[in-house]
Structure 1
Amino acid sequence: MPKNYDNATRMANLYYAIGYYRKQKGLSQEQLAERLGISRQHLASIEAPNMNRGLSLELLFNIATALGIEPYLLLKFNPDQPD
């Protein structure tokens, strides 16, 4: 019987991390979305933890590249200790 994994907290931290690093780089959602080739609404839904919108690894890597950071920083992000 497969295990039921609950990754809600991890996903929320990932979405929060995207917004955190975007703001650290001084980018608006519109600016980052344009760099990624997605709509601002799409990015806004990714950054909203309560939306629980999944994202592909490809988009995750693209976000990290556009932000000038390594992807692992998005995945290991802890909102209580962002740096």
Structure 2
Amino acid sequence: MDFAHSDRYRKLGLNIQYYRKERSFSQERLAECAGISVSLLAKAENAFAGISLDTLFRIADALEVEPYKLLKFRD
């Protein structure tokens, strides 16, 4: 991955995956609840693509977490 802030995108993807698994959601289930494609969710979780704020908010709503939790990066 060659784009700016790639480390942050990777951490965002890990956070999405963490909360998804905490809710026992498959990627398919979370994508359905968030109204996005499975491929977009997979790309976000694996830091292959940046996501819009709208998509971030949709994912956070589907996971029932505040959006900042997806952006809170641990070292």
> Which letter does structure 1 place at the counterpart of 2:50?
G
Describe how 1:1-83 pairs up with structure 2 within 5 A: 6-49=4-47, 51=48, 53-78=49-74
Aligned to 2:50, the other structure's residue is in SS state coil
Superposed CA offset, 1:3-55 (max 9, x none): xxx42211110011101100001100000001112221221111113x1x010
Q: Number of paired residues?
A: 72
% same residue: 50
Structure 2 residue runs of 5 or longer lacking an equivalent are: none
RMSD: 1.3
Give unpaired runs (5+ residues) of structure 1. 1-5
Where in structure 1 do 4 or more consecutive aligned residues deviate above 6 Å?
Answer: none
Letter in 1 for 2:24: G
